Chains A and B, each alone.
Chain A
Amino acid sequence: MCGIIGCVGRGTETLDTLVEGLGTLEYRGYDSAGVALVDDDDGLSVVKAAGELSALRERLADRALSGTVGIGHTRWSTHGPPTDENAHPHLDCTGRVAVVHNGIIEHYQSLRADLEATGHEFRSDTDTEVVPHLVGKRLADGETPSAAFRGAVDRLEGSYAVAAVVAGSRRLFAARNDSPLVVGLGGDEPTLDTADPAFIASDVPAFREHTPHVVYLDDGEFVTLDDGITVTDETGTRVRKAVETVGWDPEQTGKSGYEHFMLKEIHEQPRALRQCLSGRVDELRGAADLDLDLTAPTGVQFVAAGTSYHASLYGAELFRRAGVPAQAFLASEYATSPPPLGADLVVGVTQSGETADTLSALREAARRGAETLAVTNTVSSTADRECDHTLLIRSGPEIGVAATKTFAGQLAALNLLTLGTVEDVRSRRAVLPALRDLPGDVQAVLDSSVASTVAETYRDAAAYFFIGRGLQFPVALEGALKLKEISYEHAEGFAAGELKHGPLALVQADTPVFAVVLGDGERAHKTVGNIKEVEARDAPVVAVTDGQSDAHLYADHVLEVPETHPRVAALLANVQLQLVAYYIADGLGRPIDKPRNLAKSVTVE
C-alpha cells in the first residue's frame, strides 16, 4: 500500500504541493518517498529517498528542483526492500517517463522478462518499474504520450492506481483499477472543463488544502490533467463524472494539542458516537431508523480484516442472539476459500472502504448472489459504491494507524443494524437508552480512567493476555491487537473459557491478564472463575468491569466502566483497553501513530 499524488497548474508551488500532500498521505505508508517534476524546458527531474518523508525533505533541501507538472509517492514495501532504488517515481531507460503506482501488478515478471529481452534495463526490484518501460517503448515507437500511457496500462493485470508524467508534455496521466484514486478540481465551482489547478491522489486529504471539489474515479477509467480534466473509460469514450464536494477541513488532520493522533482520536469517541447515533435513535418511540432499504435477513455473513474483523465478531454475535444465524469471516480467507453462502446478506466492515481483502470477499459474495452491505467510515469509497447498501459509521477522519474511534463507531452502528432489522421492541426498549447514554459514558471513562497507572505498572511485562466471553471476547481480541500493533509487545486475546485448554501454560507472574467482566450473569461468573485460575498461577490480573460481579475481589487492578447494558458496556471496556495500549506504547517510546510495518488502509491483498 502506498500513497500517490499529482498536480497540474500549481506553477512554482508544484513541489511544495506535492511534498505537503505526501505528508497527509503518510498514514498509507512511510518507508520511502519521492517526487518527479516536468519543467518548461523539456526536462524531467526525480528526487527520491528511503525512509520517512523527512529524508526526502532533506534531500530536496539542497536541490533546486523546478517544474509545473508533478507526481509524488509515499511507499509501503510490497516488492523489494525500502531503498532509494525501489522508491517511486520510477523511470524508463531514457529518463523521460516517470511513474508512481499503488497496488500490485500480478504478472510483472513476465512483462519484465519481455522488456529485458528487447534491451530494457531495470534498476529496481519493484513491479512498478515495468510501467515506465512499457510507456517508453511505445513513445520510441512514435506513439503520443497519451496513447503510450493507455497502451501500457492496458497490458497491466492486478490492482493499480498509477500516474505518469512525460518530459516535453505538460499533461499528467493516471488510471485506476482496484486501488483508490480521486481527482481534485481547483477553482470556484469548477467543472471538469474549467478545473485549474487539478490534482489526483490516493485520498482526499492530500489536496484538501487546495480544494474540496472532487471526482471519484471508477475501475478501468483513465484521467488526463492539463487545461481541464478528461476522464475516459476502458474503450476511450469520454465519461461525464459528477463533481462532489467533501466537507472535511484540512485542519482536521491536525493534532490540536494532543501528543498523538491516537490519543486525540480516543478522546474524540464521545463526539464520534454522537455523530453515529444522531437522528438514528428514537428512545421515546422505541425505534432505530437507519434509512436503509433492507429487509430482515435470515442469515448473515460478515467479512472483514483486523480491527474490523473484531467488530464483525461482535456484530455476528448480536445477530445470533436475535435468532439469526450469523458468522464472521476473515476477508482474506473468504475471498480465496469461500464458505457455502448460506446467508442472504453479506456485510463487509471496512473503515476505509478500500480494504482490498474485504472488497474481494464482497465481490465474491455478490457474484454468488448475496445482497451486500458495507459498514464503513468513508463516503464514496469503493465499498460504498460497490455494495447494495451502506451503513456509514460517521466517525470522521481517523489518522492514527491503530483504529480506535472507528471501532467504537462500528460497534455502535452494528447495534443499530440489528436493532433496526431483526430485534424486537423489547430489546429496543432495553438497548436504545443505553446507546443514547453511550457518549456520556465514554466521556466518564475518559475523565476518570486510571489506565495510565496500570500501564506504568505493567510496562515491562513479558507478555500480555486478554480474556473475555460472549460479546467481551471480541473486546479481548481487540485489546490485544491494539497493544501489539503499537507497543510491539507480545499480546494475545482468548475466549475466557479457552484459557485452560492451552494458553494457560503461558501464564506466569510476569504476564498480566486483562479480564473483561461485565454484568452479573452466568458469563460474568464463569469469567470470574477463569480469573481465579489465572490468579492461582501468580499472574497479575487487571479486571475491566462495571462492578456488578465480584471480579474486583480477585483483581490486582480494576479499570472501571459505568454500569449500563452489558452489550453496550463492551464499548466502554474497549476504551479502557485502548488507553492501556496507548500508555504502554507511549511509555516504551514507540512511534504510536505510525507503527512499523503497518499502514492505515490496506489496499493490497
Chain B
Amino acid sequence: MSVTTAVVLAAGEGTRLRPLTRNRPKPMLPAATRPILEHVLDALVEAGLQRLVLVVGYRRQRVQEHVGPEYRNVPVEYVTQYKQLGSGHALAQAREAVSGSVLVVNGDHLVEAEAVQRVVDRFETDDAPATLGVIERDDPRGYGAVTLDGDELVEIVENPETDAYRLINAGIYVFDETVFERIEATPRTAGELALTDTIERTLERDRVSVSRVGGLWVDATYPWDLLSVTTSVLDHDRVNLPERRPGVWVAESAQVHETATLRPPVAVAADTEVGPSSVLGPAVAVGRNATVGANVTVERSLLDADTRLGNGVTLVDSICGESVTVGVGVTVPGGPADIQVDDRVFRGRRLGAVLADRVQVGGAATLVPGTLVGPGASVETGATVDGQVPENGRVVR
C-alpha cells in the first residue's frame, strides 16, 4: 500500500455539542464507552495505515493524553492548529509531518476500516490527484451532497436545500503530495479554508475520483445524537470489552452485583461498580469507574467516566458527562421534548437530560424532558428542573 500515513482532523470543539464540549473537543466525546476518536483510529489501524498524524487544537491536551505517542502499536504524531480556520487550514498544518500521498479523515466521525480501505484502493488504481469517499443517504441536508459522472466527482453542494441528492461526501479523502500547494492556492472564504473548496478548485483543472463506501457511518451534531451514535456502536459490535452474552459487554475489572440485571444491548466499562437490584439497558453504555447504586433504573442513556448514580435513581434518554453526581431517588423520566439550541427549536426530540461534566444533582430532584445542565452546575435536593442551566449555575427549590 503506497498510502501509509493518515491525517486525522481533531482540532475542532464542535460548538453545537455544547455544553458537553466544555473540557474536551468533539472527537473525545464518548460513543458508547470510548471516545469517538478511538473508533476512527481503530478503522485506520485496521485498514493498515502505518503512521497517524493528529491535528489538534481546542483542548488538545485531552487528545494527546488519551492517545499518547502510539495507538495500537502505530506511531502517532501531533501538529497543532492554533486557530480553527476550517478543514483545509487544519490539513495544511500537517504539511511538515507528511510526505507523499496521504489519507485524511475527520476525528469526530465514525467510519469503518473497509470504507477507508476502499477509498485508498480506488486512489491507488487511478491517476487522479484526489479520491473522495461518498456514501448513500436518504436525506442529504446538513451534509455535502455530491453529483457524479461515472466514478468521477462533478460537484459538491454543501447543505443542499432539497432532498433530491442521494450521495454525500463521506469525509474520507486521499490526496497526492500536491494537496498542500492546492490548499495554499485556494482562496479563503470569510477567513476560513474548507477542504471541499480545495477539491472544487481541483475539479476545475483535474479529475477527482470517487469511491462508494458503506458500513457504520455516524456522527453527532447535537448532544442527543450521542445516544443514537451509542446505539449504533452497540448494534455494530464496536465495543472492545468482553461480551458476557449476546449484547452484554462487561469489563473484567467491573463489578456488577449478582442481583443486578443487564438488558442488552448494554456495555459496562472498566472499574465500574453496579449495586444490587439495579436494571441497566437496553441501549445503555456506562463509562469507566462509574458507580451505580442499588435499585437504579437506566434506559437508553450514556454515562461517561466517573459518574455516580445514587440509590433509586431513574434515568431515561439521558447523557451524563464526566464526574456527574446524581443523588438518591432522582427521576429523569425521558421522552419527547422541544429543545432550543441557539436560535433553533428542535421539536419532539427524545431526550431526558444532558448533564455536562461535574454536574451535581441533589437527591429526589426531577429533571423534565429536554433539560440541558451546564458544567459544574448544581441542582438542589428536591428541585424540579426544566430548560437550560448555565455553567456553574445553581437551581434552588
Q: Which of B60, B73, B76, B323 contacts A440 (CB 8 A)?
A: B323
Q: Which of A135-143, A172-180, A274-282, A415-423 contacts B (4 or more CB under 8 A)?
A: A274-282
Verify if B291 is at the interface (C-beta below 8 Å from A): yes
A residues apposed to B, CB below 8 Å:
249, 251-258, 264, 267-268, 271, 274, 277-279, 282-284, 433, 436-437, 439-441, 443-444, 446-448, 562
Interface contact B358-A444, CB-CB below 8 Å: yes
Nearest-CB residue, chain A, relative to B24: A447
Determine the chain A residues whose CB is within 8 A of the CB of B255 once the complex forms. 282, 284
Chain A min CB distance to B167 (Å) = 36
Complex Cα spacing A65 to B146, Å: 59
Residues of chain B with a CB closer than 8 A to A433's CB: 291
B80 sits at the interface (CB 8 A): yes
For the complex of A and B, the 7 pairs showing the least CB-CB separation, nearest first, are A257-B78, A440-B306, A254-B69, A440-B323, A251-B70, A257-B64, A256-B69
Evaluate contact between B289 and A255: CB separation under 8 angstroms. Answer: no
User: B257 contacts which chain A residues (CB < 8 A)?
Assistant: 284
Per-residue A-contact encoding for B154-190, CB less than 8 Å = 1, 0 else: 0000000000000000000000000000000000000
Interface presence of B75 (CB below 8 A): yes
The stretch that binds A, out of B267-275, B338-346, B379-387, is B267-275
Q: Are A439 and B70 in contact (CB under 8 A)?
A: no
Asked if A439 contacts B289 (CB within 8 A), the reply is yes
**B23 adjacent to chain A (CB < 8 Å):** yes
Do B65 and A264 touch (CB < 8 A)? yes
Contact status A257-B323, CB under 8 Å? no
A443–B322 touching, CB < 8 Å: yes
Interface residues of B in 66-94 (CB under 8 A from A): 67-70, 73, 75-78, 80
**A439 touching B75, Cβ below 8 Å:** no
* Beta-carbon contact of A440 and B322 below 8 Å: yes
Q: Using known A-B contacts A283-B273, A440-B289, determine if residue A252 contacts B322 with beta carbons closer than 8 Å.
A: no
Which residues of chain B are within 8 angstroms of A277 by Cβ–Cβ distance?
271
Nearest A residue (CB) for B257: A284
Residues in A with CB closer than 8 Å to B288 are 274
A255 (CB) vs chain B CBs: closest residue? B69
CB neighbours (8 Å) of B56 from chain A are: 257
A146–B13 Cα distance when bound, in Å, is 64
**Distance A255 CA – B257 CA, assembled complex (angstroms):** 41
Q: Which chain A residue shows the least CB distance to B69? A: A254
Looking at the assembled complex, report how far the CB atom of B242 sits from the nearest CB atom of chain A, in whole angstroms: 15
22 A–B contacts from the bound complex (CB under 8 Å): A251-B70, A251-B75, A252-B68, A252-B69, A252-B70, A256-B69, A256-B78, A257-B80, A258-B64, A267-B64, A274-B289, A283-B273, A283-B291, A284-B257, A284-B273, A284-B275, A436-B271, A440-B289, A440-B305, A443-B323, A444-B323, A446-B61
Q: Closest approach, in angstroms, between the C-beta of A52 and any C-beta of chain B? A: 22
A257 touches B60 (CB 8 A): yes
B124 to chain A, nearest CB (A): 28
Given contacts A256-B64, A256-B67, A268-B65, contact A447 B23 (CB under 8 A): yes
Q: A256 near B323 (CB under 8 angstroms)?
A: no
Are the CB atoms of B68 and A256 closer together than 8 Å? yes
> Given the complex of chains A and B, what is the CA–CA distance between A440 and B307 in angstroms?
9
CA distance A534 to B77 in the complex (A): 47
Say which residue of B61, B323, B358 sits within 8 Å of A267 (CB atoms).
B61
Check: B253 CB closer than 8 A to any chain A CB.
yes
Q: How far is the CA of A312 from the CA of B270 in the complex (A)?
A: 30
Residue of A249, A255, A440, A443 with highest tally of chain B CB at under 10 A: A440
Complex CA–CA separation, A277 to B253 (angstroms): 11
Which A residue's beta carbon lies closest to that of B65? A267
